[in-house]
Amino acid sequence: MYIGLRAHDYGKLPVEELFKRISEDGFHAIQLAIPKAIEGINSLDEVDEKLLQEIKGAMEKYDIAIPVFGCYVELGHRDPIERQKHVDRFLKGMEIAKSIGARCIGSETTHFPLDGKEEERKEAFEGLVDSVKQIVKKGEEIGLDVAIEPVAKHTLNTPELANKLYERVPSERLKFILDLVNLLTEENIHKQDEILDKCFTLWGDKIWALHMKGIKVNEEGKLEQATFEENEANFKKVIDWVKVNMPETTVLREEIEPAHAKADYAYMKALIEG
């Protein structure tokens, strides 16, 4: 397994400084969302050949791979015109990801309330299917995997619905990002083993990357961000399964505090080697 992090948790920095700091903290794999991580760039439309060459040079200089190129769009937007704008942005991101040698391009879907109407979710899901068909077709054409992340508060909200998406778009180019914390709510946090078993059984062989961040239940019974030391998510179960069944997977630290990066790397390394 490989250990990495989400680059924009270091803030927006010049390419050289960003890659140098990440490397010095011990990480050699990143999830890169250019408009969120690179100083002076606010959209993919501003990415030019000079910047791409600068990124590729920094990747080589600091021995940093990009297992996931982050492209934050709303693939399940319920307005078809708006959704297509997001799809087009993602398709542009795929060309950029391919050009810098990223191994995959990833996204979530679209925010959807936990208590949202089921008919509206079905409508959003059908839009998501159409979006994924378009981007997977492009992935097949250019040789790039697409990874979708299920999130409890998004259109694609359960392991079962993620599996249904794959059934509707059965391409080897379609993968999943497993973020246990993003699948948890106040109501299901005590069912983590059940949720993970469903993920492993239904699409474990399609896991491309893992996200790791801490979470805990506070005194009011609400979920809140936590350090790894306080964390209540069952990372051990995730890592133990993936390192046996999908050993080439990259685990990416999210919400890192750069000042604690080296300690977080040591924690993740010990978890994988334990």
The structure tokens listed for 144 are 């790039």
pLDDT at 113: 83
Rounded Cα distance, 100 and 252, in Å? 19
Q: By three-state DSSP, how is residue 176 classified?
A: strand
Q: Which residues contact 68 (CB under 8 A, 6 or more apart)?
A: 30, 31, 32, 102, 103, 104, 105, 106, 147, 177, 208, 209, 250, 252
Which CATH number goes with the domain that contains 42?
3.20.20.150
List, as one string, the DSSP characters of 59-104: HHHTT-EEEEEE----TT-SSHHHHHHHHHHHHHHHHHHHHTT-SE
The per-residue pLDDT for range 202-223, each reduced to its tens digit, is: 999 999 999 999 999 999 999 9
Contact 249, 1 (CB under 8 A): yes
Number of domains in the chain: 1
Q: Taking the C-alpha atoms of 242, 247, 249 and 254 in order, what is their torsion angle to the nearest 10 degrees? A: 60
The per-residue pLDDT for range 83-119, each reduced to its tens digit, is: 999 999 999 999 999 999 999 999 999 898 888 898 9
pLDDT at 168: 98
Q: What is the pTM of this model?
A: 0.95
The per-residue pLDDT for range 119-152, each reduced to its tens digit, is: 999 999 999 999 999 999 999 999 999 999 999 9
The structure tokens listed for 155 are 């259109």
The per-residue pLDDT for range 212-266, each reduced to its tens digit, is: 999 999 999 999 999 999 999 999 999 999 999 999 999 999 999 999 999 999 9
For residue 37, the enclosing domain spans 2-273
